[in-house]
Amino acid sequence: MRRAAKASGQILAFMKTYADCLDERRVLWAGTDYGPTVQRAVDAIVRAFRAGGRVLVFGNGGSAAQAQHIAAEFTGRFLLERQPWAGLALTTDTSALTAIANDYGFDQVFARQLRAHGRGGDVAIGLTTSGKSPNVLEAFRAARELKITTVAITGNGGGPVVDISDIAIVGPTGPSWKVQEVHLALGHIVCEMVESTLASTAAPQ
């Protein structure tokens, strides 16, 4: 019984309240102005869509889910009724992912798809909370060869992906969940700004 009580006490010592969790999140945006780099990303995406190009999005784990989310906002809609735009997540085709990983290695799963689907003038968005994901780095190297504009959405100081990206939006430092929560909001902001920019400059119907 004493052993169980001790274990229970250890568990209780790490329990958090809703207020504790909220306090952790209040500081995520403090002291950082994402505006200039977000605007650069929006401008690149707007140029690509106006030219009939694509935005190809990718990441691992939770970042893979966010990549799909961003692509869906473009092909569906964010807020406004409009024509669909070509947003493509490179994280959804399990046959392609597993075949490429099996034949070429997991670090090539996005690069090879990018070479197949991407063209010069497109935009590649890579999400990585550490900035070190090998398959994101390889995809950005492929994008550079293809003259595809690269946008890194990263965290924890940026990591090596910053050095090979055209635009780097560097989120907070900390565990993945903190970085991903900011990434989610930034993704929504980018989608909303792209949509409002294209809608405000669209030719009258």
Alpha carbon 185 to its chain's center: 10
Could you read off the pLDDT of 6-25 as tens digits, one per residue? 554 455 557 889 999 888 88
Distance CA 56, CA 90 (A): 7
Distance CA 132, CA 129 (A): 8
CATH class entry, domain 33-196:
alpha beta
Q: What mean pLDDT do residues 58-67 have? A: 98
In which band, very low, low, confident or very high, does the pLDDT at 88 lie, cut at 50, 70 and 90?
Answer: very high
pLDDT on residue 204 = 42
The domains of the chain are located at 33-196
- pTM over 0.75? The answer is yes
Could you read off the pLDDT of 24-35 as tens digits, one per residue? 888 888 878 999
In which band, very low, low, confident or very high, does the pLDDT at 48 lie, cut at 50, 70 and 90?
Answer: very high
- Whether 202 shows a pLDDT value over 70: the answer reads no
Could you read off the pLDDT of 100-153 as tens digits, one per residue? 999 999 999 999 999 999 999 999 999 999 999 999 999 999 999 999 999 999
- Whether 4 shows a pLDDT value over 60: the answer reads no
Rg of the chain (C-alpha set): 19
pLDDT on residue 26 = 86
Sheet holding 149-154, edge to edge: 87-89, 55-59, 123-127, 149-154, 167-170
- Whether 62 shows a pLDDT value over 80: the answer reads yes
